[in-house]
Every structure is written in structure tokens, then in C-alpha cells.
Structure 1
């Protein structure tokens, strides 16, 4: 069983930027679809997508597709699949099924039939710790089977021990950087950096480090021999990267972000310090990008007291960051307006927990 299609999950609203990243990384057949991006390829591409794509939240490999209009037919066709080529007998397998507009309407019964077919073919148990997830979608009588090759969501890079209040996921930060046109060659400043997510994603990209370098993946517990081949040595981090600076007024956040950077091997690539927003100044050299995820009312408290914070942000940027571009991520249009910045682009609404946030972008500041 080899992939017929690979699905890269993305935060809704950010799919085009994940597609851009996949194309730049050399993946083929890139197409945007609701909730993600599809690419073509085999197990080598599955492995590489998990390791290298900073914006993908999960990588699903489609391994089988067939029509079925009743459970007996589903059972018969599931038993014809070469499960030992995909799954190991010593690794638990969890089957999750959904059904829509199909004669097989009982998703739980469908999952049980496929679990029994797998157990009979491989001996793999349906229960156990850290199972491989098999996703079965039955839509208009067409059964599609995919395997989750990621395991833990890919935003869990394996480095952050300190987490601030309502932080961005790493995958979202990576795609917001891309949405701002930042390619790792210009300076980057986050004046309210919290746990440092934007900084660490930017530094890793600038230094050429794989986002998946510090974690394990579900594909390592699958059967295909292509996935068990030893990877070559990871490339060394580039040293000649632009200044990447983060600030926060909270001592605990500064310490936590610095510790996160150290665990990620990025201490030498980012500078994190305590500073009030009113003291913010650009580093020497060419203009770059200021990207920040400030507090917003629905996330931290009532938005009223935050108007002064946003007004200060806008005033400081207009006064001291001429030629720089800015990006402000917030759920509150009124707070974005309070900055007084001329936004050239307002991004699509992006789900962030119970909220919808947007990226407000400027061109080069006059």
C-alpha cells in the first residue's frame, strides 16, 4: 500500500501559504483544498513533508479508495488490501471512521469491520498506547482510507517548555511570517514576544533548520521499508542570518522565551530582552519586518484598556521604523485601527481557539 495522495492539514484561511511553502520545497501536484493542501508522491515525500514543512499541522497519506454500499462489501474489500505492507503487527492501530451521504451510515460499525480485517491480516491490536491512526471517510458510498503519518500534531516541535497566555501555534506563526513575505533574509522584530514562537520559527527558517528536527513521527512505526532508511546527517545551521530580536515587559516571559530558544538550539540566532514598548528601536542595518501577536480583549480581558498599548505600538513604529513593514495579529479590528497604521492588507479570518484572528499588514512605513 503506497500513498495515492498526501494531504497536508493547515489552519483554515492559511492554506495558500502552506501551498506556497510546499512548492518552494519542491513537492509536486500542489493543490489548495479546504483545510489543507494536497501533494503527490510516495513514502519519501511523506517523510520529508513531516520533517521539513513548517506550516503543515499534520500529514495524512491516502492509501486506499474503493466503493462500498453495505458493511459486507466493505469487509470484503478491506480484507483484500495488503495491510502487512502498511502496518506492523506490534503497533496498535486505531480506526476512526466518518460517514456522510452513504448507505453505510453507521461509522462505528464500519470502523470495527476494518479493525478486524487489519487484526486478522497483521495481528495488530485495536487498543494500546500510542496507536497509529487510520482515518476512514465514507462519502457518497466511496470509502477513502488514510493513515496519519505525523502522530502528535506537527506544531509540537518538541522544544517549548514555557508557554505564555494563548500563544500562536508554531505552524500558524510560520505561515503568518510567510504571509508577510518574510523569507529569512531580512531582520525580524517581535516587540511583545511572549514565549518566543514567532522568533523561533523565524530563526529556524533563516538558519535553514528543519522544523521537525526535535521530535518523533508516527511514520517511524509503519511497515514500509522506505520509512526505515537511515536519514543523512542534518544540515548545519547557517550562521549568517539577519538580526532576530524579541522583547517583552514581563521578566518571566523573557526568561521562558530564552529557555525555549536554548532548547531549540537557537540561542545564537535570536536576541531576547526585557523592554517596554515605548523603548522599542530597530537594530542597525536594513529595514525588515515587525510581526507581533499582542494581547487582544477576548483573549486576555476587556479590549478597552488595550487601546493605549496599540496606540503606542503604532506611534513607535511610525516614528522609528521607517522603511520597515509591520504585521499585527489580532481578533479585534478596533484595536488594529487604534494603531493608526495604514494597513495595505487584511488577511482572512483564522480560527485560534474560540476566536477568529486576522493578520493586518502594512507596506514599507513612510
Structure 2
């Protein structure tokens, strides 16, 4: 468990700086931004902790071996020299995937087959297309780098959110957008179009000090080197904090509100959140200090017709300007025209982030005048 290697945190492209900041704040070493993610240094304990603690990561890859391979026979020979028994179990199915770039080995399927055969013939582990344990081979300029996916199901699947509304925002993206708006757990958060409650639940979890991976299992639990006691030591009990219902979600769909409330209950957040069915026109500023309004409204490309949404965005801007002075606003949308229809005083929009086949951006304001 005390090996030292590169750990790669996969991030939604565009959100790498926020994931890097989260990793540094969590005390990880050697954090550097790369295209598509964040690299850091550590051992298997750090890989487990990254899965448990980091909200913005998609998955955690451990890069455990590399070697030169100029042709398939050489790839086969050198793959057989890897000590697979130190990582994989012979009774757990595995899947091998490969990517080839600027290399004499150019056929990724053939490369994956050679590595898979090396594993099965030296270790005996079966192959399966649906295996949660995945070996990832990247052959770049004839250098083969082997990684293992320690995560399994993507990390936005926290393990307690069963109800999912229309066009949901992934939890890891919601956490990074909250961070981009300066949320640190101390401010109230209101979402007037909350759907399944993603923004509200992520904000409440941060305020409550809960580990995002506390309710789920991981692929690393099926590896030969897995130490249950080490994982148990990394799981933290919930901090002793007084719940404050400062995280409010509203939606005109009663079914969405019931689902969001059920998600909060499964996450242990019922005392931190409040959900209510109401239209946008009924939205009022909560008592207390100003905070953050976070919204993932319909984009038109996914749910409603774009022309019909200009009125919705305009009404949203009017309500916020009239009733939420001193509050900051964050709106996630794929349509700059719709964002501007709110007539809110937006700062420079954030980077474009891939989401469900679209490119979305965060539009945020300073405290509203």
C-alpha cells in the first residue's frame, strides 16, 4: 500500500483547474493540471482517498507500469513480465482497453487483445466485457503506459441518488460549478428549478462535511492488494455539526420535489435541505444573510423549444433582480442567448464543458445590486 506512482484524476474537460484546486486543498501531493484531468503522486492509499473524498473527479486511474513496445510481439512479451498477481485477482473478471497514438502499434484492438491474453495466460483471470475492473493501455510514441481504473462506476454516482429528473446535471459537475461560484459551505443555496436536487444536495453535503463516496463501492475493492482495514480507516464519520436548513430547492413538478426529498433522506441530509413545489413566480428570498442561487434550467436543445424559453429566462432574471439583491447567481446553460435573456449582470462566462452531447457554460454574477 506504500508504492509511489502517478495517479490521474479524470475531469470533465474545462473543469481541470477546479479539480486541481480541490485536490490541493485535500492535501494531495504533486498536483498538476493536464488535458482532461489532474495528475498527482501517491500510493494505493491516496488512490482510495481520492475516490472517497474528491467531489469533482470522474474516476481515479493508477498508472502502475510503462515500457517501450515497437510491435505486437514485443508488447506481448513485455506485458507478460508485469506482476499482474500483485494487482489483480485470478477469480475477478477483467477488461482491457487500449488507445494508440503516433506509434508503430496502431491497431488498438489488437494491442488490447495481446495484453488481455498476457493477463489470462500468466494469472488466469477471466475476461468480460462488463467487468468493473479495467486495465487501460495507452501507447503513445511507442511508449506503453498501463493504468488501472480504481473507480468502477463514475464518481458522480454517489450511491444515494435513486431519483433522477429530466436532463440532470452530474454531481461532480455541480460540485465544481459551486466551487467556481465561490461556495465553501457557509452560504445558503437556493435552486428555483431543482429537479432531482443535485445543486441543493451537493451544497448540503459540503456544509455537512460528508464524504461524497461514503455510500458506494469501488473497483479497487476487487483488487488483489485491497486492504479492507485501510479503507475503513479512510472512511470518516459525519462531523458533529448542527444541521441548518439553508439549502432550498423548488420546482413546479411535484414528482420532482418528492424525488429530491427522497434523495436527501437517503443521503442523510433531510435536516439540511428543504424542498417545496412552487412556480418561479412564487420564489422569495429566504430570511438571513445573502447566499447563492444556482440553477440548471432547461436549455431548449434537450427539453423545451428554444423560442419558448426566452420568456422563462427573462422571468427568472426579473425575479432574481427584484427579490435577491446581494445574492450571487450561477446559471448553467448551453445557450448564451438564453443566459443573456435574463438581463443579469454576468461576469465573464466559464469554460465550455461537455455534458450529455452538449457544451454547457457557467454564467455567474457578483452580488446583485
User: Same fold, TM exceeding 0.5?
Assistant: yes
* Worse-matched range after superposition: 320-329 or 220-229: 220-229
Alpha-carbon shift at residue 127 of structure 1 (Å): 2.7
Q: Which residue of 2 aligns with 1:304?
A: 307
Cα deviation digits, residues 107-143 of structure 1 (max 9, x gap): 2222222122212332211237634100001111000
- Which TM-score applies when normalising by structure 1? 0.96
Partner of 2:149: 148
Within a 5 Å distance, the mapping from 1:237-252 to structure 2 comes to 237=239, 238-241=241-244, 243-252=246-255
Matches of 2:164 and 2:132, distance apart in 1: 27
User: What is aligned with 2:95?
Assistant: 94
The normalised TM-score by structure 2 is 0.95
CA distances 1:146-169 after superposition (whole Å, capped 9, x unpaired)? 000000111111112211111101
Q: Match of 1:211?
A: 212
**How do 1:216-227 and structure 2 match up within 5 A?**
216-226=217-227
Alpha-carbon shift at residue 242 of structure 1 (Å)? 6.3
Match of 1:104 in 2: 105
Which of 300, 323, 326 does residue 323 from structure 1 map onto? 326
SS of the residue 1:294 aligns to: coil
Report the counterpart of residue 61 of structure 2 in structure 1: 60
CA deviation after TM superposition for structure 1 residue 75, in Å: 1.7
Mapped contact 1:100–1:139 kept (Cα < 8 A): yes
What secondary structure does 1:281 align onto? coil
4+ runs deviating over 6 angstroms: none
Q: Which structure 2 segments of 5+ residues have no match? A: none
Q: Which has the larger displacement, 65-74 or 128-137?
A: 128-137
CA contact (8 A) 1:95 1:114 kept: yes
Tell me the residue number matched to 1:235: 237
Give structure 1 stretches of 5+ with no counterpart: none
**Would you say how many aligned residue pairs link Structure 1 and Structure 2?**
366
User: In structure 1, which of residues 334, 348, 353 is the aligned counterpart of residue 351 of structure 2?
Assistant: 348
1:32 is paired with a residue of what secondary structure? strand
- The residue correspondences of 1:172-321 to structure 2 (distance < 5 A) are 172-226=173-227, 229-232=230-233, 234-237=236-239, 238-241=241-244, 243-321=246-324
Q: Aligned partners of 1:300 and 1:3: how far apart in 2?
A: 47
Q: What are the Cα deviations for residues 255-308 of structure 1, in whole angstroms up to 9, with x where unaligned?
A: 111111111111111000012111111221111100100111112121111122
